[in-house]
Amino acid sequence: MSHSISPAGPHQDIVISSRVRIARNLVSFPFPHRMSSDQSLELVQQVQQAVTAIGPHDHHPFRWIALRDINPVDRQTYVEDHLISPALADNPENGGFFIDSQQRRSMMVNEEDHLRIQCMLKGLQLEEAWKEADQLDDRLGRLLPFAFDETFGYLTACPTNVGTGVRISVMLHLPALTLLGFINGLIHAAGQLGFAVRGVFGEGSEYMGNLYQISNQITLGLQEPEIISNLEDIVLQVIQKERMARKNLLSRQRIDLEDKVHRSLGILTHARRLSRKEAMQYLSDLKLGVSLGMISTCTLDDLHQLIELIQPANLQKHCGELLREVERDCRRAELVRKILTEGGVSDVHE
């Protein structure tokens, strides 16, 4: 488990993580969906050579993981930990990724583009995430021939990434806005401003646990500082609205809110079966309760790590066996009960 969404950093009670992703392609190869197996292998070798060359100058060196060398459950844990995309996990024959020793930076190879550089940090840290990803991009760009056009900028497989090739996203926990029925309006307004709002696992994923991912949709014609500034502005507005919504709930519906939080705690500490979706919803209620001082028996850090641990692949890896869905629901409930009644997430690993 990466603890990649453990809360820390600015606005940690609302902002789970900040992520910067840079898409790059090499001039001498077709896009991945048109590449032969031999070309895919040659591309991997070129990228490996470049990463090896920059290794001595990196305080947190990268290691290479070929997806064909790991089992499907392990592949899916990396998706659940937000270190690789579902699309890359579905391409085990030709795909792989680099990850640094801190699990802050990763580089996907042979996903939709030849190379996708990513940095993910806790809390609202877009500038720092951009700085780390940009430095890595610059160093690799001195060794690899990235495809660049003077008119369009960096060339990518998807037209919406052409230009800077930069996609920036922030993961937010917005329970109060959701409870008060404002979330659909927020999603619509963000779309009107050129931003996408997606579920916890990105494009096409379901909204669960009141977690929402906001990202830029267009890179062509914009410079990186402008993209970062625009997204940070809208995120700060959303944070302000969520805080106001929480105050509204406290002042007008405090008893109902306390009842909801403690009912969720009761279910989580006594249930014998929990689906992923309902567990994430009840844990969202607990996170809200912790943020508002209603619950003191667990921390935000415990709850965020627990959300990662109860995902299907992470749960099976923790249990050390493949589980049918009904078995996962039972083991998930057992694990949640144990953690919430006997100790934090760290105790489970001892």
Question: Which distant-in-sequence residues (6+ apart) come within 8 Å of 98 by Cβ?
Answer: 47, 51, 62, 63, 64, 65, 106, 107, 109
326, amino acid identity:
V
**Does 31 belong to an annotated binding site?**
no
**Does 104 belong to an annotated binding site?**
no
Q: Taking Cα atoms as reference points, which of 328, 313, 244, 241 lies closest to residue 70? A: 313
**Does 170 belong to an annotated binding site?**
yes
Q: Taking Cα atoms as reference points, which of 167, 255, 261 lies closest to residue 214? A: 167
**Does 202 belong to an annotated binding site?**
yes
**Does 171 belong to an annotated binding site?**
yes
**Does 229 belong to an annotated binding site?**
no
**Does 17 belong to an annotated binding site?**
yes
- Report residue 281: phi and psi, to 5°: -65, -45
**Does 168 belong to an annotated binding site?**
yes
**Does 152 belong to an annotated binding site?**
no
Cross-strand pairs, 108: 97, 116
Q: Which residue has the tokens 């209603």?
A: 294
**Does 201 belong to an annotated binding site?**
yes
**Does 263 belong to an annotated binding site?**
no
**Does 167 belong to an annotated binding site?**
yes
DSSP 122: E
**Does 18 belong to an annotated binding site?**
yes
**Does 198 belong to an annotated binding site?**
yes
**Does 96 belong to an annotated binding site?**
no
**Does 326 belong to an annotated binding site?**
no
- Distances from the Cα of 238 to the Cαs of 73, 110, 129, 317, in angstroms? 35, 35, 20, 35
Which run of H or of E encompasses 186? helix 183-192
Task: Detail the residues annotated as belonging to a binding site for ATP.
Answer: 17-21, 82, 116, 167-171, 198-203
Task: Detail the residues annotated as belonging to a binding site.
Answer: 17-21, 82, 116, 167-171, 198-203
